[in-house]
Structure 1
């Protein structure tokens, strides 16, 4: 089940996808504890002039973290991307991941993310420049193409392998599809057959059964999980168990979920400080409540709390009532 990215051996084939505003340091550590073989940081802009913002400063904390430390960079200018890669390596990144998969307008309008798939010569220039600028492995995340008529994942994949990209994640939709419509895994399966580097399948993999189906169908080396981990980070353990045994793991007991949620919220408070920590905890708790199918008023109560200790006290009370 293990695969290698450069010198790093990844033992578990389930990977946490980078998600802006979600895969911060506390969440990455949590997912790693819950069975993710590799966790990738939130996207960091390649414009190092913007790194002084609070948001960027939090995204650039790579130390004391789970190894290998993979950091995703995004941008459309080869020299800026190379500079961002170098600076992240200086800050402790062990793998640089290039984002050519994000469909967000904010990213695409700047000719970054999946917008780059339109311009294959620019893709080549970015990949070559970044690979040549750092001594650590460089990986790449793409979509199947720009639109249904322009699926060029195979071309990009072969080019990436030739240039020295060490692993490739593919989201089974085009840029045009954003997150709508169904994912297709055929392109991922075709690419996997055509190249030698590890390939990760991504898109709509929401539970252990889907993960096994996609892994078997595409023969991918790894399964990349994004939104399915929000509010349910133990999904990684469930998938690992099912891939190994074809048996479904029982969901964690409520006491385990309680301990995990409270620890996560406490870690958010510590990492971000009181003001931001309280606000960022709200969305994560909202996702946990969805997973727990909570239909009480607790979420709206929790969202009005602006004190760290009160958040923790209210969570204790909530779980005591369950």
Structure 2
């Protein structure tokens, strides 16, 4: 897959996710094999107004390369201004969010709402392409609802105005995250496309990534919710693609160690107060399925000191060694990708 000067064979990519793909999580996923990472999606209007929270989302580090900054908005003027601001932070490419289905984005005429206005979507894309000197890509869905799937009409419009790649989530806006992502539509888009197509939706395991490539012919795959609490998915997917052999699943030691690694990065970039606070949403997925985990999680979400949180995690890891001896944990226990997990449900309800 080639975007600008980036050329990677069958890349496995971290999707942009609000309140998830911050600097800490991006760098963690990079360490575990993600080929390309995206920032959280950033409001064009907020960038224009210089909102500090949005400007912080633009901060990246060289170790994250190649990386993309994603912006969203509903007007040409705001998107052009935001694109110029984002380019100043030297991303490898700029991505436009035409796929977010939530009320706070689509309800304001941005994100997936623009699937109902192909002309405006095209005009925004063209204006952004002309405003910057770096490659511009798009992430979107297959249509607004099942009665108005229009991605095959939108694709050539985007290609004609200079969009260099398309990341496609195989659902409509109205489906949100219900049912299963439609790989057949992604396949049809790939067959028609003159630009790289990145397949997105319901990649929960390395095997799902392999199947997505096989069934769609996509140039790359993008993993979102399947990476939450499971950055191992990137290296596992790449190993399976390369050798055809699955990696051993992460055991409790690896899972606890990576939670500690994530916490340290979070504190490094956000300071102790916010670094510890914002990590609380991740513990349930890192520790899911382990014995007596609710008791430990209750301790973790009440502790404000990062060193004390690490002590709790290390003590729990030692406790789990005892559970292995008792037969309560099997060595190499797989991640439990339970789609009903509270964190994932909350994320689905509030984000792209």
Q: Give the whole-Å Cα distance in 1 for the aligned partners of 2:245 and 2:91.
A: 36
Question: Which residue matches 1:317?
Answer: 315
- Report Cα offsets for 1:24-48 as digits up to 9, x if no partner: 0111111111111111110011012
Q: Give the whole-Å Cα distance in 2 for the aligned partners of 1:248 and 1:320.
A: 28
Shift of 1:50: 4.3
Q: CA RMSD in A?
A: 1.5
Q: Give the whole-Å Cα distance in 1 for the aligned partners of 2:289 and 2:97.
A: 29
The answer as to 2:40 corresponding to 1:45 is no
Question: Which residue matches 2:334?
Answer: none
Q: Quick one: which of 221, 227, 233 aligns to 2:225?
A: 227
More displaced 10-residue stretch of structure 1: 172-181 or 241-250: 241-250
Q: Give the whole-Å Cα distance in 2 for the aligned partners of 1:293 and 1:10.
A: 40
Shift of 1:315: 1.2
Question: Which residue matches 2:127?
Answer: 129
The answer as to 2:64 corresponding to 1:66 is yes
Q: Quick one: which of 169, 180, 185 aligns to 1:182?
A: 180
Shift of 1:291: 6.2
- SS at the partner of 2:70? strand
- Report Cα offsets for 1:248-307 as digits up to 9, x if no partner: 110234443333221210110111111111111111222211265764411111111111
TM-score by length of structure 2 reads: 0.87
Q: Give the whole-Å Cα distance in 2 for the aligned partners of 1:45 and 1:34.
A: 28
- SS at the partner of 1:98? strand
- Report Cα offsets for 1:205-260 as digits up to 9, x if no partner: 11111211111110001111001100110101111111122221102344433332
Q: Quick one: which of 237, 240, 243 aligns to 1:242?
A: 240
- SS at the partner of 1:40? strand
Q: Quick one: which of 254, 258, 261 aligns to 1:260?
A: 258
- Is contact 2:145-2:174 (8 Å) kept? yes
Q: 1:253 to 1:295 in 2, by over 3 A?
A: closer
Shift of 1:57: 3.4
Q: Give the whole-Å Cα distance in 2 for the aligned partners of 1:111 and 1:138.
A: 21
- SS at the partner of 1:109? helix
Question: Which residue matches 2:109?
Answer: 111
- SS at the partner of 1:36? coil
The answer as to 2:145 corresponding to 1:156 is no
- Is contact 1:62-1:92 (8 Å) kept? no
- SS at the partner of 1:102? coil
- Is contact 1:16-1:31 (8 Å) kept? yes
Q: Which runs of 5+ in 2 are unaligned?
A: 321-352
Q: Give the whole-Å Cα distance in 2 for the aligned partners of 1:148 and 1:294.
A: 43
Q: Give the whole-Å Cα distance in 1 for the aligned partners of 2:237 and 2:259.
A: 20
Q: Which runs of 5+ in 1 are unaligned?
A: none
- Is contact 2:187-2:216 (8 Å) kept? yes
- Is contact 1:96-1:139 (8 Å) kept? yes
More displaced 10-residue stretch of structure 1: 61-70 or 143-152: 61-70
Q: Quick one: which of 214, 217, 222 aligns to 1:216?
A: 214
Question: Which residue matches 1:75?
Answer: 73
Q: Give the whole-Å Cα distance in 1 for the aligned partners of 2:119 and 2:287.
A: 46
TM-score by length of structure 1 reads: 0.95
Shift of 1:17: 0.4
- Is contact 1:232-1:291 (8 Å) kept? no
